[in-house]
Structure 1
Amino acid sequence: MVQIITPNNPEQVQSDRDAKMFGSPKDRLDFYRREIQYETSILSHRTDAYLAAQSFLVIAFASCMANLNPEWGKFFTLTVPPMLAVLGILISLNAWPGIRAAYDIIDHWHFKQSELLSSQPVMGMAYDESPLFCEMESTHKGYKKSLMFSVRSPWLFSCFWLVLGAFSLYIQIDNPLT
């Protein structure tokens, strides 16, 4: 008969596994920091691509609204700018999940980092005394403020496009073709 021997303390198994995987709390902290940096880079690239798309749409919208062609300009400015506004809203709604996912992953790694620093008193003291790091980096309040622009951008642009689309329709309907 084969008997499986397990340790009495599951926490010991976890710490042994962690020691084999990371080596030291410093290695784990370095890993968390690299993951935070990687995900922040992804979030930055997603935000940059999103803002570039929105800026091109704003330029196209303004150009369409400035159309003064006497034959088809009125119909063009009645249809194309609201379509661009709808496109801007759709792009915002499609960009939101990717931006939010990157934010959630960054939040996860910051949580893991703060748990490590609070569970390892020696590591936490070394971390706090280092001039490269400060308490603001390891608190939720600090990094969340720095990521708010990326997280809020899709919602702000959605509202912006809603207002612009309504404005473009109002201007064309209020000033009928004579």
Structure 2
Amino acid sequence: MTQHASTNELDHVCGEIRAEINLLNSRLNALISSQSFLVIAYGSSLSAGYGNWNGLFTITLPPLFAILGIALVLEARPGIAAAQEAISHWRRRENHLINEEPALRAFTLATDEQSRKRLELRQHAGSRFSSRAPMIFIGAWILFFLLPFALRIWG
């Protein structure tokens, strides 16, 4: 393969990586936005029943928002996982091209081994966040689901 063909292929791979990262960011932003609106609605509905923890409104609406929050997280997880998988695929392809033709390293962000390791660490940290955030949201919504019932029992 010629140097020109290799750089074109590397450009294509890097473009795919950027596109998948943008898609992942869009999906995460949508998830976080939906969760923030639901938390506001949840808090407002719970505070509307302040002091009356036995009321039907307090016992039904906040848990309903919690169920909706869990459902939205569960709906978002496959899209987030798919974007992460695609990014990993294109990263492997990028690494394969660079290992096949080391001269291409000059066309990447990580030109030496140390900067390459730093880049991999940053990518790993970003991947951890995007895979853990939905699980944290689910844990929080489970607690939010149980809170009105606990307030009813102990309040």
With structure 2 as the length reference, what TM-score do the two structures score? 0.86
1:154 aligns with 2:134: yes
Report how many aligned residue pairs link the two structures.
154
Q: Can you give the 5+ residue segments of structure 2 that lack an aligned partner in the other structure?
A: none
Structure with bigger RCO (C-alpha 8 Å, 6+ apart)? 2
Per-residue CA distance 1:62-112 (angstroms, 9 max, x = gap): 001111489998110111111111111111111000000001000100010
Q: Paired residue for 1:122, among 103, 106, 112?
A: 103
- Of 138, 143, 146, the residue aligned with 1:163 is 143
Residues 98-109 of structure 1: matches in 2 within 5 Å? Answer: 98-109=79-90
User: C-alpha root-mean-square deviation of aligned residues, in Å?
Assistant: 2.9
Supply the AA of the counterpart residue of 1:61.
Y
| Alignment of structure 1 residues 53-132 onto 2, 5 Å | 53-68=34-49, 74-124=55-105, 127=108, 130=111
Q: Give the distance between the partners of 1:63 and 1:129, measured in 2 at CA.
A: 48
Q: What is the TM-score normalised by the length of structure 1?
A: 0.75
Cα distance in 2 for residues equivalent to 1:73 and 1:159: 24
Contact 1:114 1:138 in 2 (8 A): no
The verdict on how the C-alpha distance between 1:57 and 1:34 changes in structure 2, with shifts beyond 3 A counting, is same
Gaps of 5+ in 1: 1-14
Which amino acid letter does the alignment assign opposite residue 30 of structure 1? D
In percent, how many aligned pairs have the same letter? 29
Counterpart position of 2:153: 173
**Structure number, greater radius of gyration:** 1
Q: Which has the higher helix share?
A: 2
